[in-house]
Chain A
Amino acid sequence: MAEPLVIVDDLHIVYKVYGAGGDRGTAATVLLRMIGRKTRGNIREVHAVRGLSFVANRGDAIGIIGRNGSGKSTLLRAIAGLLPPEKGNVYTNSQASLLGVNAALLDELTGERNVVLGCLAMGMSRAEVKAKYQDIVGFSGVGDFIDLPMKTYSAGMGSRLRFAIAASKTHEVLLIDEALATGDAEFRVKSHNRIEELRAAAGAVFLVAHELEEIELTCNRVIWMERGKIVTEGYDVITIVDQYIEASGGEPVLRDPVTRRRIKTSSMETAGA
């Protein structure tokens, strides 16, 4: 039953930051370096992920929580194969698709061309693109803006279109990095449903979000990271989320004692179905 799709084995990711001292560009320092025959000065290493191990199975929707800089996005990029491990390895059966807020496509081009290009780049045929085009545009809800260059889109519209493009293909492994944060309430419900579908289509989904409620609703499993390491990890999403909230000094969430769902305060009512 449990078939591993992603295996993270003692993963270490190290960023090399050049010119950490901030004086990299001045002519004097460059000259001194050349005379001194020194290698590039001021390289600082940032150890972003330190020895992570876990197995993600088919059908898992894994939420990753943790403070800013705890290595969540780095982990996703390593799973997508965009960062080489310093040590350890990430194993996947197919190429994972990363969907992040910064994943702008080509700003100069219209939304329409971006849809076509994005789909072709994901390896679809022209016929498949044609077949899916209306669905993608409809799902993104950008409407008439589809004819305009993407640089004219609002942040929310852009991320909606990007999500729609990436979600049009059933990825075995889908990595979502805060991509839904900018969407409005209606879009969140839609994208939540789409993630459910993708998960049901027997893939694995990773979701990084600071909106903890989103993780409670979407994920069946959660990883809490701190300083590049796993603090806790497991299928009891709500308990871990509550622990995390407590550890970061937040207000405890009011929950229904039976269903353990959040008891909505009046300001949040609009978000529901």
Chain B
Amino acid sequence: MTEPGGPSARPRARRTARSGTERAGRISAPGALAAGDVGVLSPDLNESLTDLAARYGLRPSAERPSPPRYVRELWQRRHFMLAFATAQNIAMYTNAKLGQLWQVLTPLLNVAVYWLIFGKILDTSRGIPDYIPFLVVGVFVFNFTQRSFISTSKVITDSLPLIRALQFPRAALPLAYVLIELQQMLIASVVMFVIILVSGEPITWYWLLFIPALLLQALFNAGIGMFVARVGAQLNDFSQLLPFLLRTWMYMSGVLFSLLTLAERGFRHPLIVKLLYINPAAIYITLIRLALLQKQRESAPGAAPYNKALCAKWPDVTINGVTHNYLYNSKYCMPVISPDLNWPLAAGWAVVAIVVGFFFFWRAETRYGRG
């Protein structure tokens, strides 16, 4: 009844064609319903039930709210999302002996494994100055998106009891799960900063750029989270496929190696390299690397005037008696995409993800929790 005429008028408008002719003169008889009725008010009584519903402003129970109303309802549940995220974060580790420590240990172990395999054994670090901080930022930032994907793909099935018990806008669930991952990411960031500082990186004002970059990434994850939540809810096989998709995505986003190596070292498909550069994960990783790592900033293509000869030259640097071939001169190279486009692209991906994710999720609102 608090609703303005808009939504409630809809069923009436849709149905009048069927029974509009017999309505005249019966509008004024609501009292007739009560008078000694036995209860059954089948459509053959005074007026059709659809008309009765329209007259009292009742709406189909399985009706989807309009997008603005849906957003309002979501905003109203913001405390729920926060409380849900915090509670889940605590519950997640209650069964583990080390408890909350795993929030820090998991990313650390990840870094250790990648460093061992790709840095030491396969020597992918070739060409990248300060490989450890480079790797750590890549792994942690990608991990945020990866975990958001995996958890939101299961959010509807995980929360079935809640969905079947209570009415609330379902998008609150994937959003809360992304909030959980954001909280985890903030904790992991502390570890990330410690590793970066220990490996000799200076603190600069550029570090502040970490905050807007992470926020944009969180928005992107929220949008994609809503998208994945619906796919996961309607396609059970999706969660089986997801790890493979994510691993492919990780290898394509320059988490473990520099996409520069592809650009400068004979990878002959410039279009593919360009696409890899502008993929959202790579954009967010690049932005955060440029914000936190000085050597990355200094050696970014475009940081110095273009010079073909210097660009082609990879200076040798000897560390502990071993000669490394470094990308230091990459600053003289032509950037694959202009560095000025990094922020617009990051914001663009976030907006596209939110809009597409929201509408895609909203369209199936009444179908979650069924079956």
Contacts and interface: CB of A to CB of B under 8 A. Distances in A.
Nearest to A2: B34
A234 interface: yes
Contacts of B30: 2-3
Interface stretch (B20-28, B41-49, B192-200, B353-361): B41-49
Interface string A84-125: 110001111101111110111110110001001110111101
Contacts of A108: 91, 94
A271 interface: no
A120 B82 CA distance: 10
A76 B274 CA distance: 55
Interface in A136-173: 149, 162, 166
B295 interface: no
B53 A105 contact: no
Given A81-B61, A108-B94, A123 B168 contact: yes
Interface of B: 1, 11, 30-31, 33-34, 37-43, 48-50, 52-53, 56-63, 73, 76-77, 79-80, 83-84, 87-88, 90-91, 94, 161-162, 164-168, 172, 366-367, 369-370
Given A81-B167, A91-B53, A122-B167, 6 more contacts: A55-B52, A82-B370, A104-B165, A121-B80, A123-B168, A166-B166
Contacts of A5: 58
B366 A99 contact: no
A55 B33 contact: yes
Contacts of A70: none
B96 to A, nearest CB: 12
A176 B293 CA distance: 59
B62 A84 contact: yes
Contact of A103 (B38, B50, B165): B165
B59 A109 contact: no
A226 interface: no
Interface of A: 1-10, 53-55, 57, 77-85, 89-93, 95-100, 102-106, 108-109, 113, 116-118, 120-123, 125-126, 149, 162, 166, 221, 230, 233-235
B41 A53 contact: yes
B167 A97 contact: yes
Contacts of B162: 105-106, 121
Given A102-B164, A121-B80, A93 B57 contact: yes
B62 A83 contact: yes
B34 A57 contact: yes
Nearest to B44: A53
Nearest to A99: B165
Nearest to A79: B61
The 4 closest A-B pairs by CB, nearest first: A103-B165, A2-B34, A91-B53, A81-B61
Nearest to B34: A2
B213 to A, nearest CB: 31
A122 B172 CA distance: 12
A3 B59 contact: no
Contacts of B37: 2
A81 B165 contact: no
A4 B48 CA distance: 13
9 contacts: A53-B42, A53-B43, A80-B167, A92-B59, A102-B161, A108-B94, A149-B91, A221-B39, A235-B38
Nearest to B167: A95
